[in-house]
């Protein structure tokens, strides 16, 4: 899993999980925040349903637990960070579009620049528009 991490609308860096290990590539403030949070110990929030009652519970989670990445993601979201997931298929589709417009250098540059600052919602909305159009 890979996420673009933002704080107050500004990109802080990229958070990647590989085999339960996290790697953050970005500004030092966010990097320190993540390291401190992991060191202090994380809790994971989940929702259990017992006898028709849904209860959101918080449980401590260890670094080796398979749910560790989700605990860290949840912690960052609860701490005011916004995470845009890097969706490989969406990115690959965009690369196809980019390669098709490579001849139009200005549009290529504009498209690539805009794409780099788009949210998950904007990217998927744009591709949905294009997909609907190509089907039509």
79 interacts with other proteins by CB under 8 A: yes
16 interacts with other proteins by CB under 8 A: no
Closest to other proteins by CB, 25 vs 131, is 131
Helix, strand, coil shares of the chain, percent, nearest 5, are: 50, 30, 20
Assign 63 to helix, strand or coil: coil
14 interacts with other proteins by CB under 8 A: no
Find the helix or strand (DSSP H, E) in which 19 lies. none
Binder of other proteins out of 37, 47, 62, 109 (CB under 8 A): 47
DSSP 102: T
Beta bridge partners of 43: 60
83 interacts with other proteins by CB under 8 A: yes
- From CA 70, how far away is CA 3, in angstroms rounded? 12
Binder of other proteins out of 8, 55, 64, 116 (CB under 8 A): 55
- Residue listed under structure tokens 């997931």: 85
Q: What are phi and psi of 40, to 5 degrees?
A: -70, -20
36 interacts with other proteins by CB under 8 A: no
8 interacts with other proteins by CB under 8 A: no
Which residues contribute to the site for other proteins (CB under 8 A)?
Answer: 1, 44-50, 52-60, 67, 70-71, 73-74, 77-80, 82-85, 87, 89-90, 92-93, 95-97, 99-101, 104, 107, 111, 114, 119-122, 124-131, 133-134
């Amino acid at each position: 899993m890979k996420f673009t991490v933002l704080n107050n609308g500004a990109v802080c860096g990229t958070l990647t999980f590989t085999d339960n290990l996290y790697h953050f590539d970005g500004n030092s403030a966010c990097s320190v925040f993540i390291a401190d949070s992991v060191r202090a110990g994380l809790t994971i929030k989940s929702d259990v349903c017992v006898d028709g009652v849904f209860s959101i519970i918080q449980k401590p989670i260890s670094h080796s637990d398979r749910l560790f990445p989700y605990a860290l993601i949840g912690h960052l979201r609860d701490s005011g960070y916004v995470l845009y997931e890097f969706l490989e298929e969406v990115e690959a589709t965009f690369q196809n579009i980019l390669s098709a417009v490579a001849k139009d250098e200005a549009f290529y540059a504009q498209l690539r620049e805009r794409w780099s600052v788009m949210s998950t919602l904007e990217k998927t909305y744009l591709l949905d528009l294009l997909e609907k159009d190509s089907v039509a």
